[in-house]
């Protein structure tokens, strides 16, 4: 949907110093489109266009930039200008932005805001991540029950510029307790002289401020709502969660199925953290649970083969051959976990092509930790329980270590390489990676055996 | 969010014949909640409550029922009543409903509708599935550019009851060409005497009627829109896609990643079809592509083992042992495909616990077809290329056939069983299934070898 034809127009206005014409031109565009235009300009020119916008428009455009870019643009502003921007921003985005900005800068900016705004920011930043409170915004419309529709419409007209949505109005009593709901559609349809309490819906669907954000988003989705009101422990209205934020929450949740399907244990706490911010040890902890469990289950392949080896007749299966399935199976599992993680990160936009080197290094490090743990277990397990000499258990242990690192490297590299050449990375499936690890894992295994056992042809 | 306390109230009204009280009680509820209440009542009583609702409310409630239930309720109505319901239904849901209803019944109902409504239904049902046209609705608001804000608001008030949304208004010229956009928020904020053309946004984000529905939904998501206008080849406005439909489209798309990750080839045509409606042969066709390709890749494990078998010293690896990885690897791949399909079906609500038997039978049949094809290839490949006797290649072929069926049965049974005992089915990961198939697949393999080769201990 990007329109490259607009960029030359924009640059012409800019170079001619025609600020008014530029403002009018941009005012006809959706803020998301303006953000794209600014991104398509060289850095200095983009910043110049951004500075020309009046503050409300600027707030709208800002929300379409990446977080880092938002921080950069805001921190480049004089504190007074930044404060004015914060004043007109949507309240949830403002709280998120303040959380990310440099603390010293925030200390300079906040005194320029009114007490109520500062209080609002403080409150919204204080909720536990992952709760309804952390996902909600406070720029919604409330109405008292005793006013008329005419008065309500007049009030909406006054408040509209500062509200994220005016399409849903919540009716509260003098203690701010939620007692009803009326949509703007219903207001428009009603007689102007009716009272709000006559036309409002009394059975309001709501959620609590400390509810988990996922069921909140599911409720919005299920009932096709534009927003869901959030109340505190005393049934007082404290915010709303809007449909677009619900969509983001559901996306995070749905893509989580890919992670689980790749064999990474769910972890509600770690899961609200983006790929980059989660610690490698958190990643290792989430993966080792299933990986170790499946490793132990995979060990069954050894006694099964031993049990049936009489079918080979006189030929006795060599000790090293007994552990091939254990090794390639575990490598495939580690690879599936990595692919699941990387594909999800790409689907959420957290992992980009430019991160390839970092992602591969990070996954290699994860594979190193996982391989060390599995290798240590294998070393003793195979020697003592499977009664193999240290030579065999040592080879299997070191091969496991190598295969885990290898599986994690290709599990992260292949989906990124697929995108690089224009293939949908999601087709790099778990079966694809485990098949790849099956043949290559054997080469690693035998090579280590040859080296360690001093075998010569 | 279900409130079981309301059901006794409802039954009391119903048994007391207090229809007016009942209507008032239900009018205070969100239609989605009314639908739940009706579902919680015994069949006869639920139908009685549904019949009491006035037609607009009834249309709202109907949309929250499952498709089968919608068909049943509507087909039980006299044709005139059904026509009145269709008249007030949202236009996209109405078209979808007509598509599903019994043809003879539709022939009785349609003559009771006005020409324009019949034409609208005919047009909306004629678009290619998966396009913007098939996802859009036609009950939106248009405004001419030359009227004032006051006149526009008056018009909205008239049209609101019949429109899915009045929050976004599209400005069209006398040829219905889309020339602008104005939100109700902007209308409310504007001076009453302003003309629409003065306040409208001229750069409207839109899509074409034959565009793929996925990018359309992504655009709605990206710009946080409530709806996106859809135009035909002559730039005439023909419909809108709303945010809640976009959410459904995106869910379908995002969960598709699970399918791909499980190793099922993407197929845009087959993918708009729900699990139940897709033919087993379509399923087989989508899976065999990757499965066969991976099977051929998995064959590399045999020459790798042969190449390295000198490391075993005097011991020569038995022929049967050479094909273990090929067999268990392919079984694991087939199982991953099945788990991916079933988990996605459950995430979309297409597969329910009550379908367990059907799903398992269907997947078993799919496994049978896949196993036949893979087995046939293995029989000749292993005999001619790998120079093994027919006995060995026969055992591998039949074992492949058995393992594919087995993998598909457990791949469908285990996630459903997990849900039955209250475990999140998505934790039944690809690694879990391939590990399970590794050990059990060997048992199948050796058992078949013993039987076929007439081996005795």
Closest-CA distance of chain A to residue B271, Å:
15
Q: Determine the residue among B186, B435, B437 to mutate to test chain A binding: the one whose Cβ has the most chain A Cβ atoms within 10 Å.
A: B435
Whether A255 is in a domain gets the answer: no
What is the CA angle A447-A452-A457, rounded to 5?
A: 60
How far, in Å, CA of A41 to CA of A69, rounded?
14
Mutate: best of A139, A310, A423, A431, partner B, most B CBs <10 A:
A431
Position B321 in a domain: yes
Rounded-to-integer distance, Cα B122 and Cα B112, Å: 15
A289 touches chain B (CB under 8 A): no
HEC letters along chain A: CCCCCHHHHHHHHHHCCCHHHHHHHHHCCCHHHHHHHHHHCCHHHHHHHHHHCCHHHHHHHHCCCCHHHHHHHHHCCCHHHHHHHHHHCCHHHHHHHHHHCCHHHHHHHHHHCCHHHHHHHHHHCCCCCCEHHHHCECCCEEECCCCEHHHHHHHHHHHHHHCCCCCEEEEECCCCEEEEEEEHHHHHHCCCCCEHHHHCECCCCCEECCCEHHHHHHHHHHCCCCEEEEECCCCEEEEEEEHHHHHHHHHHHHHHHHHHHCCCCCCHHHHCCCCCCCCHHHHHHHHHHHHHHHHHHHCCHHHHHHHHHHHHCCCCCCHHHHHHHHHHHHHHHHHHHHHHHHHHHHHCCCCCHHHHHHHHHHHHHHHHHHHHHHHHHHHHHHHHHCCCCHHHHHHHHHHHHHHHHHHHHHHHHHHHHHHHCCCCHHHCCHHHHHHHHHHHHHHHHHHHHHHHCCCCC
What is the predicted pLDDT for the residue at A1? 46
The minimal CB distance from B325 to the residues A251, A263, A325 is found for A325
CA dihedral of B329, B330, B334, B335, whole degrees rounded to 10: -30
Same domain? A266 vs A318: yes
Is the backbone of residue A409 left (phi > 0), alpha (psi -120 to 50) or beta? Answer: alpha
User: What pLDDT is attached to residue A172?
Assistant: 96
| Cα distance between residue A367 and residue A64, in whole Å | 36
Please give the helix or strand (H or E) that residue B241 lies within, else none: strand B237-242
Same domain, B304 and B436: yes
The domain boundary residue, chosen from A242, A274, A308:
A242
State how far the Cα of A338 lies from the Cα of A360, in Å rounded to an integer: 10
Q: Select from A194, A297, A429 the residue whose CB has the most chain B CBs within 10 Å, as the one to mutate to test that interface.
A: A429
- What secondary structure does DSSP assign to B126-156, as a single string? TSPTTBHHHH-BS--EEE-TTSBHHHHHHHH
In a domain, B133, yes or no: no
The answer to whether residues B76 and B28 belong to one domain is: yes
CA atoms within 13 A on the CB side of A137: 21
Structure tokens at B183: 């939100």
Q: Which domain holds residue B310?
A: 262-452
Alpha helices in B172-318 (DSSP H): 184-189, 196-199, 213-222, 243-261, 268-271, 280-298, 301-308
Whether chain B has a CB inside 8 Å of the CB on A438: the answer is yes
* Residues contacting residue A421 through CB under 8 Å, at least 6 positions apart: none
**Count of positions (residues) in chain B:** 457
Within a domain: residue A359? yes
| The domain boundary residue, chosen from B210, B243, B276 | B243
| Backbone dihedral angles phi then psi of residue B120, each to the nearest 5 degrees | -60, -45
CB B366 within 8 Å of CB B282? no
Interface confidence: ipTM more than 0.90: no
Q: Is A439 exposed, middle or buried (0-12, 13-18, 19+ CB in 10 A)?
A: buried
Closest by CA to A435, choosing from B332, B250, B168, B302, is B332
Q: How much is the pLDDT for B456?
A: 64
CATH at A359: 1.10.357.20
- Here the CATH number for the domain that contains residue B205 is 3.10.580.10
Distance CA A348, CA B279 (A): 32
- Smallest Cα–Cα separation from B131: which of B34, B203, B45, B214? B214
Alpha-carbon distance of B150 to A427, in angstroms, equals 54
Q: Is residue B426 part of a domain?
A: yes
State whether A48 and A122 are in the same domain: yes
d(CA A340, CA B320): 34
Query: Within this chain, do residues A223 and A347 fall inside the same structural domain, yes or no?
Result: no
> Rg (Cα) of chain B, in Å, rounded?
29
* Helix H or strand E segment including B238: strand B237-242
Residues A85 and A154 in one domain: no
Cross-sheet strand order for the sheet of B227-231: B207-208, B227-231, B237-242
Looking up residue B11, the CATH number of its domain turns out to be 1.25.60.10
Using the Cβ of A417 and the Cβ atoms of chain B, whether some distance falls under 8 Å is answered with no
**Residue A247 sits at the chain B interface (C-beta within 8 Å):** yes
User: Contact at 8 Å (CB) between B365 and B280?
Assistant: yes
- The CA-based angle B267-B269-B274, given to 5 degrees, is 95
- Report the Cα–Cα distance between both ends of chain A, in Å, rounded: 63
Specify the pLDDT at position B1.
46
- Strand-by-strand arrangement of the A207-208 sheet: A207-208, A227-231, A237-242
Tell me the per-residue pLDDT of A218-263, one tens digit each, with 9 for 90 and over: 999 999 999 999 999 999 999 999 999 999 898 888 888 888 888 8
Cβ–Cβ below 8 Å for B435 and A333: yes
Asked whether the CA dihedral B416, B421, B426, B429 is positive or negative, the reply is negative
Query: Could you tell me if A337 and A220 lie in one domain?
Result: no
Pairing state of beta strands B168-172 and B141-143?
parallel
* DSSP structural state of residue B352: -
Tell me if residue B385 falls in helix, strand or coil: coil
Per-residue model confidence as pLDDT tens for chain B (457 residues): 456 667 777 778 778 878 888 888 888 888 998 998 888 888 788 888 898 898 889 999 999 998 888 999 999 999 999 999 999 999 999 999 999 999 999 999 999 999 999 999 999 999 988 899 999 999 999 999 999 999 999 999 998 888 888 999 999 999 999 999 999 999 999 999 999 999 999 889 999 999 999 899 999 999 999 999 999 999 999 999 999 999 989 888 888 888 888 888 777 666 667 787 788 888 898 899 889 989 988 888 888 888 888 777 767 778 888 899 999 999 999 999 999 999 888 888 888 888 899 999 999 999 999 999 999 999 999 999 888 899 899 999 999 999 999 999 999 999 999 989 988 887 778 899 999 998 899 999 999 988 888 776 6
Same domain, A342 and A223: no
Contact with chain B for residue A106, Cβ under 8 A: no
Do B430 and B314 share a structural domain? yes
pLDDT tens track for A315-367: 777 888 889 999 999 999 999 999 999 988 888 888 888 889 999 999 999 99
Q: Does residue A254 fall inside a structural domain?
A: no
- B331 and B441 in contact (C-beta within 8 Å)? yes
Q: Are residues A227 and A280 in the same domain?
A: no
Q: Are A407 and A433 in contact (CB under 8 A)?
A: yes
CB spacing of A157 vs B188 below 8 angstroms? yes
* Nearest-CA distance B104 → chain A (Å): 33
The answer to whether residues B427 and A266 touch, using CB atoms and an 8 Å cutoff, is yes
Q: Check whether residue A191 and residue A291 sit in a common domain.
A: no
Nearest to B316 among A256, A315, A329 (CB): A315
Structure tokens at A138: 């406070």
* Tally of domains in chain A: 3
Query: A83 in a domain, yes or no?
Result: yes
- Give me the residues of A, 335-364, that contact B with CB < 8 A: 336-337, 339-340, 343, 347
Rg (CA), chain A: 29
Q: Evaluate whether B273 touches B252 at the Cβ level (below 8 Å).
A: no
- With tokens 């870019």, the residue in question is A69
> Based on the domain organization, do B98 and B155 belong to the same domain?
no
Answer whether residue B89 is part of any domain. Answer: yes
Q: How far apart are CA B377 and CA B371, in angstroms?
A: 10
Q: Contact, B261 vs A343, CB < 8 A?
A: yes
Token duo for residue A59? 């707030």
B182 three-class SS: strand
DSSP strand pairing (B178-183 vs B207-208): unpaired
Q: In chain B, which residues have their Cβ closer than 8 Å to the Cβ of A205? A: 1, 30, 33
Q: What is the pLDDT along chain A (457 residues), one digit of tens a residue?
A: 456 667 777 788 778 878 888 888 888 888 998 998 888 888 788 888 898 888 889 999 999 998 888 999 999 999 999 999 999 999 999 999 999 999 999 999 999 999 999 999 999 999 988 899 999 999 999 999 999 999 999 999 998 888 888 999 999 999 999 999 999 999 999 999 999 999 999 889 999 999 999 899 999 999 999 999 999 999 999 999 999 999 989 888 888 888 888 888 777 666 667 787 788 888 898 899 889 989 988 888 888 888 888 777 767 778 888 899 999 999 999 999 999 999 888 888 888 888 899 999 999 999 999 999 999 999 999 999 888 899 899 999 999 999 999 999 999 999 999 989 988 887 778 899 999 999 899 999 999 988 888 776 6
Pick from B48, B236, B254, B225: nearest CA to B133: B236
> Any long-range contacts for B79-86 (C-beta under 8 Å, 24+ apart)?
B79/B105, B79/B108, B79/B109, B79/B112, B80/B112, B81/B55, B82/B109, B82/B112, B83/B109, B83/B110, B83/B112, B83/B113, B84/B55, B84/B112, B85/B55, B85/B58, B85/B59, B86/B113, B86/B117, B86/B121
């Amino acid at each position: 949907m990007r329109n490259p034809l607009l960029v030359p127009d924009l640059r012409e206005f800019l170079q001619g110093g025609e600020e008014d014409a530029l403002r009018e031109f941009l005012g006809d565009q959706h803020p998301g489109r303006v953000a794209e235009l600014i991104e398509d300009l060289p850095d200095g020119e983009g910043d110049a266009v951004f500075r020309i916008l009046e503050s409300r428009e600027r707030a709208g455009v800002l929300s379409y930039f990446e977080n880092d870019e938002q921080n950069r643009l805001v921190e480049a502003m004089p504190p007074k200008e930044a404060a004015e921007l914060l004043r007109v921003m949507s309240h949830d985005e403002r709280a998120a932005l303040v959380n990310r900005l440099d603390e010293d800068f925030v200390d300079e900016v906040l005194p320029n805001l009114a007490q109520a705004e500062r209080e609002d920011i403080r409150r919204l930043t204080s909720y536990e991540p992952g709760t309804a409170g952390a996902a909600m915004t406070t720029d919604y419309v409330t109405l008292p029950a005793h006013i008329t529709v005419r008065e309500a419409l007049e009030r909406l007209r006054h408040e509209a510029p500062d509200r994220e949505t005016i399409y849903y109005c919540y009716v509260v009593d003098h203690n701010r307790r939620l007692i009803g709901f009326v949509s703007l559609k219903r207001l428009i349809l009603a007689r102007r002289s009716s009272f709000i309490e006559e036309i409002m819906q009394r059975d309001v669907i709501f959620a609590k401020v400390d509810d988990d954000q996922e069921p909140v988003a599911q409720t919005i989705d299920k009932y096709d709502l534009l927003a869901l009101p959030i109340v505190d422990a005393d049934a007082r209205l404290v915010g709303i969660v809007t449909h677009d934020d619900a969509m983001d929450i559901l996306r995070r949740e749905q893509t989580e199925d890919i992670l689980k399907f790749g064999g990474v244990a769910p972890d509600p706490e770690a899961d609200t953290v983006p790929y980059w911010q989660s610690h490698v040890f958190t990643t290792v902890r989430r993966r080792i649970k299933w990986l170790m469990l499946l490793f132990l289950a995979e060990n069954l392949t050894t006694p099964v083969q031993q049990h049936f080896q009489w079918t080979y007749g006189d030929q006795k299966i060599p000790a090293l051959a007994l552990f091939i399935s254990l090794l390639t199976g575990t490598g495939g599992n580690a690879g599936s976990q990595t692919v699941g993680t990387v594909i999800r990160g790409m689907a959420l936009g957290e992992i980009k092509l430019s991160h390839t080197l970092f992602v591969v290094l990070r996954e290699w490090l994860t594979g190193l930790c996982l391989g060390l743990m599995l290798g240590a277990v294998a070393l003793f397990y195979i020697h003592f329980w499977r009664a193999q000499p240290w030579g065999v258990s040592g080879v299997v242990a070191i091969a496991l270590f190598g295969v885990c690192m290898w599986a994690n490297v290709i599990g992260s590299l292949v989906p990124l390489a697929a995108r690089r050449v224009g293939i949908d990375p999601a087709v790099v499936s778990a079966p694809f990676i485990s098949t790849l690890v099956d043949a290559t894992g054997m080469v690693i295994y035998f090579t280590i055996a040859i080296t360690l056992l001093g075998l010569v042809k």
